[in-house]
């Protein structure tokens, strides 16, 4: 006998998860920011994608920048190998500086870049710049209002000391910590925001997170998975290293495909509430705050 399907109501297998009591009524944009820094996240605050061409050759850098700019990119991170005033002239030859944001992996390159700007009569304060630095360098960088400092962090516990030591710089501070696997990375990002919110001097302080994509030294699959985790975890930026042969590789397209084809950015904290993730997040918060 054929059943009468119209008489059936959909029944859902209810979850009796032992972690159900962990669920919190949090919303994005409000402290403790577990679910994201902004109420609308990527719709009003799109994730920044930074490209880091892995070469110190000024001509190669110039070529890469031109190619990337022509495809709509504008955020470029430069490596730690020293670059001179002459090098910067080659790097930015025939490039409109107004279209870019620059990031530096060393203070030396940041200073030589500033020299270059002076030589070109460019107003340094108009540039958005980010620098990888250490906590000790932060006071010297305070003078530069347009500078965002990115601190590398290996363990979540380091956040507590950073939060308590640093004052007045929260708006220009970002953290990059070691990404691990998919769920662990997402949980680490969520718990970092919570820990920061609970330990920083200003309880409304919002923590920016940057995720380094493994890039060409690793495989495309791992890089894609970590990039998805960055979006899911609510990162503010990702940085993608590009090998000298990047034009023939797909790494450059990871964020493009995620942005254009997956609709992931149509939501905030898509996995928020998932028992597995909430348990991990809670464990990270509790272990760190102990």
Partner 1 sequence: MAAKQTGNFSSHSMQDWISEIKKTVTDPKELEKLIWKTENGFHLNVFYNNENTQPVFLPSPGKTEFRQLIYADKIMAANQAAQAAVKDGADSLYFKLTALGTENEINALLKNLDPEKTPLHFDFEESNVAWLYMYVDYLQTNQFNPENVKGSINYDPMSEILLGGNFIYAEAEAEKIFQSVLEAVSFELPQFKIINVNAFNIRECGGNQVQEIAVALAMTVEYMNWANKNGIEPKKVFDHIQFHLSAGNDHLLEISKLRAFRILIQQLAAAYGINDFQPQINSVGMNRNKTIYSAENNIIRSTLESLGSVLGGANSITLHPHDDTFRMPEKSYKTTRDILKSITRELSLSTKEDLVSGSYYLENLTKKISEISWDLFLEIDKQDGYIACLKNKFIQQQILTLAEKQQSDFMSGELSVVAVNVYLNKNETKTTEYTRVEHSDLSNENRISIPLKAQRISEKLEFERMKKESTSTIDKN
State which of positions 133-162 bind partner 1 (CB under 8 A): 160
Of 71, 136, 83, 77, give the one whose Cα is nearest residue 103.
77
Q: Which of residues 247-266 bind partner 1 (CB under 8 A)?
A: 247, 249-250, 253-254, 256-258, 260-264, 266
Please check whether residue 11 is in contact with residue 19, taking contact to mean a CB–CB distance below 8 angstroms. no
Q: Is 37 in the site for partner 1 (CB under 8 A)?
A: no
CA dihedral over 160, 162, 164, 169, signed as positive or negative: negative
Q: Which is nearer to partner 1, 235 or 285 (CB)?
A: 285
d(CA 140, CA 156): 25
Residue range at the interface with partner 1 (CB under 8 A); choices 79-87, 110-118, 170-178, 277-285: 277-285
- Residue with Cβ nearer partner 1 (3 or 143): 3
102 binds partner 1 (CB under 8 A): no
> CA 89, CA 93: separation in Å to the nearest integer?
6
Residues numbered 157-186 forming contacts with partner 1, rule: CB under 8 A: 160, 163-164, 181-183
Site for partner 1 in 40-59 (CB under 8 A): 40-41, 43-44
Per-residue b/e over 65-86, b at no fewer than 16 CB within 10 Å? Answer: beebeeeebbbbbbbeeebeee
Peptide bond into 32 cis (omega under 30): yes
Least distance from C-beta 279 to partner 1, angstroms? Answer: 10
Scanning residues 60 to 89, which ones bind partner 1 (CB under 8 A)?
A: 71-72
Shortest spacing between CB 82 and partner 1, in angstroms: 32
> Is 287 near partner 1 (CB under 8 A)?
no
The CA distance from 243 to 240, in Å, is 10
| Total of chain residues touching partner 1, rule CB under 8 A | 82
């Amino acid at each position: 006998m054929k059943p009468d399907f119209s008489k059936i109501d959909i029944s859902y297998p209810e979850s009796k998860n032992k972690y159900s009591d962990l669920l919190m009524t949090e919303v994005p944009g409000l402290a403790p920011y577990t679910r994201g820094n902004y109420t609308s996240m990527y719709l009003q605050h799109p994730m920044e994608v930074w490209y880091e061409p892995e070469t110190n050759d000024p001509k190669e850098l110039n070529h890469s920048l031109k190619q990337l700019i022509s495809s709509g990119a504008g955020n470029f991170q430069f490596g730690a190998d020293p670059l001179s005033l002459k090098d910067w002239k080659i790097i930015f030859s025939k490039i409109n500086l107004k279209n870019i944001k620059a990031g530096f992996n060393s203070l030396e390159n940041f200073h030589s870049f500033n020299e270059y700007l002076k030589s070109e009569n460019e107003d340094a304060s108009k540039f958005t710049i980010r620098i990888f630095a250490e906590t000790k360098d932060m006071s010297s960088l305070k003078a530069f209002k347009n500078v965002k400092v990115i601190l590398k962090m290996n363990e979540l516990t380091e956040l507590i000391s950073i939060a308590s030591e640093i004052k007045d710089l929260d708006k220009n501070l970002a953290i990059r910590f070691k990404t691990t696997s998919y769920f662990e990375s997402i949980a680490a990002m969520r718990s970092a925001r919570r820990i920061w919110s609970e330990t920083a001097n200003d309880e409304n302080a919002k923590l920016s997170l940057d995720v380094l994509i493994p890039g060409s030294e690793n495989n495309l699959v791992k890089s894609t998975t970590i990039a998805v985790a960055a979006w899911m975890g609510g990162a503010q930026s990702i940085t993608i290293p590009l090998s000298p042969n990047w034009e023939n590789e797909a790494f450059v397209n990871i964020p493009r495909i995620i942005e254009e084809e997956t609709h992931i950015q149509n939501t905030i904290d898509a996995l928020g509430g998932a028992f597995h993730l909430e348990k991990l997040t809670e464990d990270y918060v509790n272990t760190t705050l102990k």
